[in-house]
Structure 1
Amino acid sequence: MLVFAHCSARVFSGRPSNNKDLHAWLDLEADLTGDLVVFPCKGGNFNTTPKFVGGMRWVVVHCPTVKKVTKIDDGVMIHPFKLQKYYRQEVIQKPEYLQCEVNVNSDVIRDPQSRYYVPEEDLPARKYGNFCAGASVTMTYAVMRVLLRAASIISTHPT
């Protein structure tokens, strides 16, 4: 889910199920309310970058005046009024602000039974570089634009 001041949407990357009736209802809600975004993307944890970039592109197109963006995972609940209060805090008033949990020097998971499994042929390194992780990321619109520009010029892992 992406949450913005005065602009919010639930984002599905890929189809949530093979149920054609559910697809029809989701498409209808997306058309009628504009609060639902569905874009094609393979499921799984190894392609979180393309899914996140797709969500940021949606924000740029549909919410160009938004000041701050919070991306939360599907299993996370937030209190919208407390989020608004948090947005008003002094530290977040900076034009370029990014807050996330940073994973430092994490091992690449090689266990095929893990949902985070990454085959060595897909990523030969034994450790990840530092990266934002966790259930949420909060940033200003300016930072999001910088991330989108960077995403357009660098290659990411296979999707």
Structure 2
Amino acid sequence: MFCGDEREPHPLHKKPLCQEKKSSFRFWFHFLVLFCLLILYLFYTMCNNTQSLREGFSLQKTFSWLFVQTPQGNAPPYRVHLKHRLMLNDIHEKTEPHPAQQQRLQYHEAYPHNYRFVMDNPEVCKVNLPFLVLMVPVAPKDVLARDAIRATWGKDRVVQGETVLTLFVLGLSGGIDVKELQQENQQHNDLIQSNFLDTYLNLTIKTMVIMDWLATRCPAAAYAMKVDSDVFLNVDNLVIMLKKPGIPQKNYLTGLLKGNVPVIRSKDSKWYVPKELYPDPQYPTYTQGMGYVFSNDLPAKFVEVSKSIKPFNIEDAYIGMCIKNLGLSVTSPPDYSQFRDYNTRYDRCEFSKIITYILDSSEQLIDYWTDYKKPGPHCLDKL
């Protein structure tokens, strides 16, 4: 019987050898196909799991999420801050470079060009060229803080005859209704949002994004101020100070000066900074972050120098490092007593003389401002 013979063999006869070979070939062929598919499936699963595990372990480290190795084109790799996309779960991280490469790295984590604006008002400086721009870093969810400022010291567009602009700077945050933010911005035209993750540890990035906005959207303004949302700001006194004869129009940075401040190494502290981020025992002299004022030529210089300065999470001290690396220095205000941090009690006369005071809440700001703005002299003559 030949292999091509289609007649059925007798049940007692054995199958021809070539037919047995065909059956065996089919079996092994099907087995190999299934085996290859299984290998591809396992490889795909392992790749996904490896990525998830690597991200999970990395995010458990206190500061490891601050850095990612990102090569661009043919340029040597440099370390940049993790780029947070609009989908907050889309966090990508690669392994740290070999220690031998560390000396060749340029530090770009806080360089604002790593990020982009997802909500912007670039035209606000073109409508009325401001003398002073007040930039307020605030969390996306802090609507009460923004509304309190809009109703108090951020309300007036003209102060002492000068145009003053107040803007709020936000990052990204989970659980925030994007449409509500867009509606708020359509109503007030004062929100600027960038795609970094809005956290306390990212305040340095937030500050550099502020500098980038001033340098690219509002370069013709004379002065600017980074001022926290929990501050009572006497804008009248601030404008009066900036219009005094002798106030520099370039390379000027002033506020409540801090010198010989030691770096906190205790991990239990809110202001803990590891040696890996800042090795020196003390910070350079800087202006306290509650509110510092600067000539508007400085933001572009801060942006440029930030490319080569390793960032750490104390944003005001980081600006001090930028000033130092630029070969400049901070300047004492004409009246040092006008920049205050914490107040023990409200005094209408006292608040009429200062520029900054840190408050406890937005409600306190409204209460103090309401009393401060009521008719009558702020200071009563003592008998």
**Range into which the TM-score falls when normalised by the shorter chain:** 0.7 to 0.9
State the Cα deviation string for residues 78-104 of structure 1 (Å, max 9, x = none): 133333222212233533322133332
Paired residues for 1:122-141 under 5 Å? 122-141=277-296
Unaligned runs of 5+ in 1: none
Equivalent residue for 1:10, pick from 153, 168, 193: 168
Q: What is the CA-CA distance between 1:111 and the residue it aligns to?
A: 2.0
C-alpha change, 1:118 and 1:89, in structure 2 (3 Å) is same
Calculate the TM-score normalised by the size of structure 1: 0.77
In the alignment, residue 208 of structure 2 is paired with which amino acid?
Answer: V
Residue equivalent to 2:199? 43
Residue equivalent to 2:260? 105
**In the alignment, structure 1 residue 62 sits paired with structure 2 residue 217:** yes
Which deviates further from its counterpart, 118-127 or 140-149? 118-127
SS in 2 for 1:114: coil
C-alpha change, 1:103 and 1:80, in structure 2 (3 Å) is closer
In the alignment, residue 155 of structure 1 is paired with which amino acid?
Answer: I
State the Cα deviation string for residues 5-57 of structure 1 (Å, max 9, x = none): 44320112343xx4333x4322332355431112224512x443322110011
Distance 2:229 2:247 in 1: 24
Unaligned runs of 5+ in 2: 1-133, 137-156, 158-162, 314-383
The alignment's C-alpha RMSD in Å is 2.7
Residue equivalent to 1:26? 181
State the Cα deviation string for residues 105-155 of structure 1 (Å, max 9, x = none): 322112222211123343333333333324111111123332233224x22
C-alpha change, 1:72 and 1:158, in structure 2 (3 Å) is closer
SS in 2 for 1:71: strand
In the alignment, residue 62 of structure 1 is paired with which amino acid?
Answer: R
Distance 1:102 1:84 in 2: 19
C-alpha change, 1:119 and 1:42, in structure 2 (3 Å) is farther
Q: Return the structure number with greater strand share.
A: 1
